[in-house]
Amino acid sequence: MHESTASSLLANLKQYWGYPGFRPLQREAMSLVMSDRDSLVVLPTGGGKSLCYQVPAISRDGMALIVSPLISLMKDQVDSLHSVGVSAACINSMQTAQNKRDVAGQIRRHELKLLYIAPERLLQPQTIEFLQGAGVSFIAIDEAHCISQWGHDFRPEYRQLRCLKTAFPGAAVHGYTATATEQVRKDIVEQLGIADVEILVGSFDRPNLQYRVERRTDPIGQLQRILQRHKGESGIVYCISRKNVDSTSDSLNRLGFKTLPYHAGMSDEGRRKNQDAFIDEDVNIIVATVAFGMGIDKSNVRFVIHAEMPRSLENYQQESGRAGRDGLEAECCLLYAAKDADTWEYLMKDTEDPAVRQTGQRAVSAMQQYCVSTRCRHQQLVEHFGQTLQHENCGACDFCLNEMQPVEDPSILGQKLLSCVVRQGERFGAAYTTQVLRGSKGKRIIENGHDKLSTWGLLKDEPEPQVRNWFDQLLSQGFLRQVGEYNCLEVTPLGRQLLKGQATPMLLRMQVADSAQPVEDQWEGVDRNLFDELRGMRNRLAVQKQVPPYIIFSDATLRDLARQRPSNVGVLTRIHGIGTQKQKEFGAVVLHTIKEWCHAHNVAMNIETPSPVLARSAGKSRSSQPRESTSGEYYDLFEQGLSLEDVANQLDRALDTVSKYLGEYLKAHQISDIDAWITPKLQKLVQQAISKVGCERLKPIFEHLESQVDYARIRIVVIAWEIEQSNVADDE
């Protein structure tokens, strides 16, 4: 690409979107669009695929034609482009006749830079004829994996798009997708008829996502523990069936979570209403089948939970990838049970094409293997797509975070498990064998005489889910296999070696979901209370503009604002995600909000700290060692009875940061006497406010006290009060 072209692209990226540079492969992908070379670009969700065609569209003459499968996705994209000052429109079945005439007029007057359209609408002869005179600069096909029957979301209408090369001979065709194996990539190229094509494949790794997998034993209890880590944050809970969506949503609502369901059994109006409530942040949690999500461009989803096993690793990559699209940390949890595979097998039984059915069965098996494996989750996912992780320790999965601890003597434990299988004549499944090992006196076990086996009760002190998981691990490592209609366990030749002491398995002890800790790296330097204030501002602006909050500003932008706390336009231009249009439209209210808050809390502004590189996806290296804790130095000073101000001065830290560490210290030692840090008079004042407005959030207390007490001290009093209440409850 010519240097002047690259400079133009970079200038537009900065001016319109407020991004200082290209993400991996964006520059190369844009270069192919600018030089009219057909291309297929595979970048992970959150990797900036849309910019690969949006930036070139405004950097060259004519109108780009964007083929998109879902109306909601089109609307989000168009709203987002309008918010940064780019002229764009869409044509879909939900528009009124007048809307369509207005868009047609814009096309005739050559006022649009991007036109979004569904494949069904585009392929109508009259549509093609009309657009042939519209000066189409190039054609971008979003979600291009829909073209391939080997992909995870095949759509037959996409197969007809190969006619575009003939209908628009002067326009290059570019496909974009987040998930495509080599087989799928070849099929996309063939079906589009773009033989002389440049294929760009980015890393399939999403390093800002934390992956965790648990065997499903107490579905609602496990969901509850995970959701407790994400209070006030947006997230998706996926289920396989409509029935499970409804029951899960109802159960979570009874526990006090605010959720809404989404599935194909609902009316169009019901689905639209619930989806809009989630996008507009009227509700934080949506419980859905996989029918939900493909058209969602919501950037601040902080968690995705699969309450049941997905159909394939491609599906899992796509669905879990809806978390953390803004590049910030997010959590992906998967709860699985053996019957999930049976459910998918049942749903595939009516597939007529044997090849497609066989491919589906292999996909389910690969997904099962992922669930029961005992190695890095990130590594497994990238390997599935033909890549290798560069680092031994991803630092972002249950395995690499040491949430799965090796057992003390895996050989002896493995021999106990396999011996029980052998002594039962290799005629029973994992669930039954687990009961024998745990010493069950069930009727069937007694009738079979298996309560007399030497292996009966050998693992009576182990929880049932843990024993079942060890069988999963032995199966995944090839020491066991399942045979016959009832999946009876059978010892393999490798398993025989283990029984003889000639082989050693890797057996890990699983921890429960609430042992996991969320990533904190991306909050470094961010004042969380100011962040909450800015979220409120964003929501108010979204209501005024009638667009989703994340289209106003992403969470990454709000964190950067709460980190640097700009007081003028000069500093505002350094903030990630604020381009010229957003600066003009929202700059005044942003600066006013920050100034008011900082003055009220006596907090410094214009902090010259560079924004951290957005997650590891933007180049932050992985470490094989956990991040060194700094809590010790705080705790030592608290032990000496130093005041909040003295600790802040000694460690050169903000008062709010010190208060958070003091809160952790109080919780760790269950200390409710805080006279050393907060005066009794001030404690009484905050406690009176708690009795009036509660203590679930600090802001209502702060407002009730009319800003007389800062957030740092309110936080300490609230924590001490909660500890005191807990101690009283225990005494009773």
DSSP line for 439-479: T---HHHHHTTGGGSTTTTTTTTS-HHHHHHHHHHHHHTTS
Beta strands in 607-648 (DSSP E): none
DSSP state of 314: H
User: What pLDDT shows up at residue 153?
Assistant: 59
Q: How far apart are CA 18 and CA 11, in angstroms?
A: 10
Residue 291: CB atoms within 10 Å: 14
Domains plus CATH for the chain? 3-201 (3.40.50.300), 209-403 (3.40.50.300), 405-510 (1.10.10.10), 525-611 (1.10.150.80), 631-731 (no CATH)
Percent of the chain with pLDDT over 70: 91
DSSP sequence for 156-214 = GGGGGGGGHHHHSTTSEEEEEES---HHHHHHHHHHHT--S-EEEE-----TTEEEEEE
User: Distance between alpha carbon 352 and the CA centroid of its chain, in Å?
Assistant: 34
Spatial separation of the C-alpha atoms in residues 439 and 461, rounded to whole Å: 9
pLDDT computed for residue 511 by the predictor = 62
Is residue 619 over pLDDT 50?
A: no
SS3 244: helix
Q: Is the pLDDT of residue 284 over 90?
A: yes
Cβ contacts of residue 7 below 8 Å, gap of 6+?
A: none
DSSP state of 521: G
Strands (E), 370-414: 404-406
Q: Mean pLDDT in the chain?
A: 85
How many CB atoms are closer than 10 A to CB 378?
Answer: 25
> If phi over 0 gives left and psi between -120 and 50 gives alpha, with beta otherwise, what is residue 670?
left
* Digit-coded pLDDT (tens) for 547-604: 889 899 999 899 999 999 999 888 888 888 899 999 999 999 999 999 999 999 888 8
Residue 231 pLDDT: 86
Give the whole-angstrom CA distance, residue 371 versus residue 43: 24
What CA–CA distances, in Å, run from 508 to 405, 434, 459, 470?
A: 5, 16, 15, 7
349-406 pLDDT, tens digit per residue, is 777 778 778 888 888 989 988 998 888 999 999 888 888 887 778 889 988 888 877 8
Q: Specify the 3-state DSSP secondary structure of 490.
A: strand
Cβ contacts of residue 74 below 8 Å, gap of 6+? 68, 90, 92, 116, 117, 118
Predicted structure pTM score: 0.69
Planar angle of CA 658, 664, 667, nearest 5 degrees = 140
Nearest Cα to 711, choosing from 551, 530, 526? Answer: 530
Q: Where are the alpha helices (DSSP H) in 576-615?
A: 580-601
| 528 vs 524: CA distance, rounded Å | 10
Instruction: Say how far apart CA 289 and CA 346 lie, in whole Å.
Output: 17
